[in-house]
């Protein structure tokens, strides 16, 4: 291989190659690493365009410049119309046992099979560059590369949906996205058009209750539950159909942030969720979910006071328990965000033999939409050839040509049946996908079944299944969202629906808005019923004390006790938590014994909203400086207002006093290693809810 000269050493352009550019060039000494054009032509100069004279005009002849700029101009592809902002990861799925009594999907029937997966989590309303923590639904889409073809489970973190019929989806999405004349708000449902639509679509009320709940502001993508939403079918080898609902449960439990935290995180770290997922996988803390199904037959479906084909309804676990069937582990970050996370193309219609659809009219509409959207997003029908979308099993057919064809098929036969290529692919009635022969049919009508008419009972069920703090949050969320609605009529109409859900909830929202008694009277299409509460719907009721996958932030300053920090670190590790040290600056901090620690963050860049619990071990002259810094005071004030557990050393007291923190049972003094360990143990509770009596969180 010819050696290239170190460009920075070339006298003619040396002046233009100072600094980083010059250093980069020093590594370019083999043809293998030579920078080339897309045609493979070696590039001699990547710093200067071709011009007529050193100060003259740039020449059109410069094919290196033109190719580079043209490619750059086309770097962005249309973002997803919904779910544009997402984060993805690779991993695997393993079945727990043999599910062949229910399905012939091989990957669910053999615990020995490790099926590769790619998962993508997303928000729905915002654009690709929007923040991670708006109040929104989270997409939970998983591509299983099975040996029988690709299965996509394209779900959400909420088990129901806004609408019952796909024909309303464009209206729903238009209503929630930025208003078309003003181009705002971005990634927010708190505006007139969304609530106007909701107020005229009573079927959305159940989903609205979920959207106003803590589910819509998750602490981490690693902590969300996932749901297939629609009723699907499992089909076994005998052709027997069983209805199923899919559920994902995170191993480390679910948790949410408070609204005030979400607001502040959006400013402090707009990539909070994306970073959290990426960093957890990088450090080997692999997120894991258990997949379960609720499996039931037609007779059970017929016994419910709601229709299992109606995507605005769920089946309480207390009515049909969850059957765990396998687990998914995400253990590898994408190598390239665009190539994988952006180009991955999910489709609820990607099913394998053994999994089939129900007649849910929302699902039926989705079966059209997803391929159609990839055609405009990814440019043509060959998107299955993009590496992240390729099946990981043999794939043969006679589809040919089209934009961006990457394959070079051989031979003269591109049709079937044929006699000229006896070894070419043929249909296979045994292994092939056979649609379940459902017998339901009727007149061609644009009519919704009577069984879809009850819009409030399950919204009521959801509200009444929440713990007191969760109910408070729902009230606050309604007050925030409706408070942003400018049209009083819309507010009153929404309140009318909320009244049908639960009169007390309506009263509380009216009070919070300062609109007592202003709910419209809206006669329900069907009188709601009272269902038995379902504790499984509450996140707090299910929450176990834990710090697994959580973050502890410790603020130290010169003179801190190293033994204490070591204890906090050891306790954090033992609990599976990550501890980060925060200093007055990013510069080294000296302990009382003159050991030094390099902080992970300076206080100005580490607000306590980025941590699940915080401790302060400050002392000496630094305290005076910290007392005069908004970032340091708010570090404590926010942690306190967000009901977090706070550990503190006696020497830190002046900072606590300056921040106005009253010591309560969750503000824990750490005078010894044992105290530090006790603080970490206590912090497993997550939040100290009794403080909510003092501070509205
Ligand atoms: Fe989607 N949805 N959707 N959706 N959806 C898309 O497909 C659509 C619905 C969901 O990470 C789009 O590739 C219609 C329910 C997720 O790439 C599009 C209807 C559920 C993702 C589309 C629905 C979902 C999408 C946009 C009403 C939960 C992101 C880009 C009938 C069960 C997947 C794309 C990813 C994405 C259409 C309703 C989940 C336009 C027409 C219900 C997680 O095809």
Whether 157 is catalytic is no
* Cis preceding-peptide flag for 115 (omega within 30 of 0): no
For residue 423, is pLDDT > 70? yes
Amino acid 441: pLDDT: 77
The per-residue pLDDT of the chain, averaged, comes to 94
Q: Which of 25, 90, 156, 497 is catalytic?
A: 156
N residues, the chain: 697
Which ligand 1 atom sits closest to the C-alpha of 230? 32
At the top level of CATH, which class does the domain 70-389 belong to? Answer: mainly beta
Rounded Cα distance between 232 and 102, Å, is 12
- Tens digit of each residue's pLDDT (9 = 90 or more) over 539-566: 999 999 999 999 999 999 999 999 999 9
Question: What's the whole-model pTM score?
Answer: 0.94
- Which of 445, 444, 170, 452 is closest to 309 using CA atoms? 452
Rounded Cα distance between 358 and 235, Å, is 12
Contacts of residue 429, Cβ cutoff 8 Å, sequence gap at least 6: none
Amino acid 439: pLDDT: 78
For residue 9, is pLDDT > 90? no
Which ligand 1 atom sits closest to the C-alpha of 84? 30
Q: In testing the pocket of ligand 1, which one of 78, 370, 375, 379 has its CB within 8 Å of the most ligand atoms? A: 370
Look at ligand 1, atom 38, and give the residue with the nearest C-alpha. Answer: 366
- Tens digit of each residue's pLDDT (9 = 90 or more) over 601-618: 999 999 999 999 999 999
Residue extent(s) of CATH 2.40.180.10 domains in the chain: 70-389
Overall average pLDDT of the 37-46 stretch: 94
Strand order of the β-sheet with 667-669 is 601-602, 578-583, 551-556, 613-617, 646-648, 667-669
Ranges of H-type helices in 269-341? 272-282, 298-303
- Tens digit of each residue's pLDDT (9 = 90 or more) over 312-363: 999 999 999 999 999 999 999 999 999 999 999 999 999 999 999 999 999 9
- Tens digit of each residue's pLDDT (9 = 90 or more) over 110-140: 999 999 999 999 999 999 999 999 999 999 9
Q: Is 9 exposed, middle or buried (0-12, 13-18, 19+ CB in 10 A)?
A: exposed
Whether 83 is catalytic is yes
Overall average pLDDT of the 185-199 stretch: 98
Rounded Cα distance between 15 and 536, Å, is 68
Look at ligand 1, atom 25, and give the residue with the nearest C-alpha. Answer: 83
Which ligand 1 atom sits closest to the C-alpha of 369? 44
Residue extent(s) of CATH 3.40.50.880 domains in the chain: 551-693
- Tens digit of each residue's pLDDT (9 = 90 or more) over 215-272: 999 999 999 999 999 999 999 999 999 999 999 999 999 999 999 999 999 999 999 9
Compute the distance from residue 82 Cα to the ligand 1 centre, in Å.
Answer: 7
Fold of 551-693: Rossmann fold (3.40.50)
Amino acid 438: pLDDT: 85
Q: Which residues line ligand 1 (CB under 6 A)?
A: 80-83, 86, 120, 122, 139, 141, 154-156, 161, 166, 169, 229, 311, 344-346, 362, 365-366, 369-370, 373
Compute the distance from residue 121 Cα to the ligand 1 centre, in Å.
Answer: 12
Give, to the nearest 10 degrees, the angle between helix 488-501 and helix 468-483.
Answer: 160
Amino acid 22: pLDDT: 35
- Tens digit of each residue's pLDDT (9 = 90 or more) over 454-473: 999 999 999 999 999 999 99
Amino acid 696: pLDDT: 83
- Which of 301, 287, 195, 213 is closest to 250 using CA atoms? 287
Amino acid 31: pLDDT: 62
Q: The tokens of 326 are what?
A: 């396998």
Rounded Cα distance between 489 and 126, Å, is 26
Amino acid 30: pLDDT: 55
Overall average pLDDT of the 199-205 stretch: 98
Q: Which of 83, 191, 230, 642 is catalytic?
A: 83
Residues 661 and 667 sit within 8 Å (Cβ to Cβ): yes
Q: The tokens of 609 are what?
A: 């909203």
Residues 64 and 37 sit within 8 Å (Cβ to Cβ): yes
């Amino acid at each position: 291989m010819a050696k290239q000269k170190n460009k920075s050493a070339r006298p003619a352009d040396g002046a233009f190659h100072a600094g980083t550019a010059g250093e980069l060039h020093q590594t370019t000494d083999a043809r293998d690493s030579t920078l080339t054009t897309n045609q493979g032509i070696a590039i001699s100069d990547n710093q200067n365009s071709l011009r007529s004279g050193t100060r003259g005009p740039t020449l059109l002849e410069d094919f290196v410049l033109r190719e580079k700029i043209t490619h750059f101009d086309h770097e962005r592809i249309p973002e997803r119309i919904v779910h544009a902002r997402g984060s993805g990861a690779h991993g695997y799925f393993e079945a727990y046992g043999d599910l062949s009594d229910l399905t012939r999907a091989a990957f669910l029937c053999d615990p020995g099979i490790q099926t590769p997966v790619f998962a993508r989590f997303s928000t729905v309303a915002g654009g690709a560059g929007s923040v991670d923590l708006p109040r929104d639904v989270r997409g939970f889409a998983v591509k299983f590369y099975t040996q029988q073809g690709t299965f996509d489970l394209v779900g959400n973190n909420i088990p129901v949906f806004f609408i019952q019929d796909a024909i309303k989806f464009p209206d729903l999405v238009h209503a929630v996205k930025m208003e078309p004349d003003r181009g705002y708000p971005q990634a927010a449902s708190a505006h007139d058009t969304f609530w106007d639509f909701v107020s005229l679509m009573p079927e959305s009320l159940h989903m609205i209750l979920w959207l106003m709940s803590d589910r819509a502001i998750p602490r981490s993508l690693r902590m969300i539950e996932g749901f297939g939403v629609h009723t699907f079918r499992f089909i076994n080898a005998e052709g027997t159909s069983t209805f199923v609902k899919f559920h994902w449960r995170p191993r480390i439990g679910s948790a949410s942030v408070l609204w005030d935290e979400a607001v502040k995180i959006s400013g402090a770290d707009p990539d909070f969720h994306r970073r959290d997922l990426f960093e957890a996988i990088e450090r080997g803390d692999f997120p894991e979910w258990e997949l379960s199904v609720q499996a039931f037959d037609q007779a059970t479906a017929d016994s419910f006071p709601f229709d299992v084909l109606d995507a605005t309804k769920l089946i309480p676990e207390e009515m049909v328990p969850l059957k765990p069937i396998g687990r998914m582990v995400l253990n590898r970050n994408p190598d390239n965000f665009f190539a994988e996370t952006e180009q991955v193309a999910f489709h609820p219609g990607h099913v394998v033999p053994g999994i089939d659809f129900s007649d849910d009219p929302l699902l039926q509409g989705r079966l059209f939409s997803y391929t159609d959207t990839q055609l405009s997003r990814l440019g043509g029908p060959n998107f299955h050839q993009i590496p992240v979308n390729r099946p990981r099993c043999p794939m043969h057919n006679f589809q040919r040509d089209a934009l961006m064809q990457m394959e070079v098929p051989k031979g003269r036969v591109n049709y079937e049946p044929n006699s000229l290529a006896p070894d070419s692919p043929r249909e296979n009635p045994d292994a092939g996908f056979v649609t379940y022969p459902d017998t339901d049919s009727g007149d061609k009508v644009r009519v919704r079944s009577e069984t879809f008419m009850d819009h409030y009972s399950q919204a009521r069920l959801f509200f009444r299944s929440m713990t007191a703090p969760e109910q408070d949050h729902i009230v606050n969320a309604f007050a925030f969202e409706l408070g942003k609605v400018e049209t009083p009529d819309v507010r009153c109409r929404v309140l009318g629906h909320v009244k049908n859900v639960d009169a007390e909830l309506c009263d509380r929202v009216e009070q919070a808005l300062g609109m007592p008694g202003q709910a419209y009277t809206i006669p329900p299409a069907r009188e709601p019923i009272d269902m038995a509460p379902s504790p499984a719907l509450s996140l707090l009721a299910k929450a176990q004390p834990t710090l697994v996958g959580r973050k502890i932030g410790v603020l130290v300053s010169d003179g801190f006790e190293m033994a204490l920090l070591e204890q906090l670190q050891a306790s954090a590790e033992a609990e599976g938590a990550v501890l980060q040290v925060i200093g007055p600056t990013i510069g080294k901090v000296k302990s009382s014994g003159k050991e030094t620690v390099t902080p992970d963050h300076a206080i100005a860049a580490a607000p306590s909203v980025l941590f699940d619990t915080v401790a302060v071990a400050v002392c000496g002259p630094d305290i005076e400086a910290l007392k005069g810094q908004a970032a340091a005071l708010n570090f404590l004030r926010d942690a306190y207002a967000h009901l977090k557990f706070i550990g503190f050393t006696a020497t830190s007291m002046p900072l606590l006093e300056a921040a106005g923190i009253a010591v309560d049972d969750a503000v824990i003094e750490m005078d010894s290693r044992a105290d530090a360990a006790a603080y970490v143990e206590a912090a497993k509770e997550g939040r100290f809810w009794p403080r909510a009596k003092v501070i509205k969180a």
